[in-house]
Amino acid sequence: MRPPEAPDRVAPAALSRLPVLKKRRDFIAASHARRQGTPGIHLQGRNRDDGDDTVRVGFTCSKKVGNAVARNRAKRRLREVARLTLPEHARPGWDYVLVGRAEQTASLPFTQLQSDLIRALRKVHG
């Protein structure tokens, strides 16, 4: 039996979760803002300028990536890359959309996806 957690501690899973974009208008607003492509990921980012310091992220893959299984695999990899990378490299008050690339997002080594996202973030932030 596990001992109960102290009430002042936050579960590690709760710390690693980023707010996710769900509304179409947020995705469209990000698509009209800054963009940067890399071999494994296409990144879209925008500064919301709404006074909220929350970093939000969205994920998308078109049918060019493949069938539903391939798209879901690519999005799972994008979610994990974002979870590991954005807390350190994202700017407060920004929305980011990570777009999967056909045959690349699902097949590139994970470390390369991470370095692609970091490079894209640097370019988007100027």
Tell me whether residue 58 is exposed, middle or buried, using C-beta atoms within 10 angstroms of its C-beta: 0 to 12, 13 to 18, 19 or more: buried
Q: Which class is 18-125 in CATH? A: alpha beta
Asked whether residue 10 carries a pLDDT value surpassing 90, the answer given is: no
Tell me the sheet residues that pair with 94.
47
Beta-carbon contacts of residue 31 (< 8 Å; ≥ 6 apart):
44, 97
- Joined tokens for residue 126: 């100027």
pTM: 0.83
Sequence spans of domains, the chain: 18-125
**pLDDT over 60 (residue 5):** no
pLDDT in tens, 76-125: 999 999 999 999 999 999 999 999 998 899 899 999 999 999 999 999 99
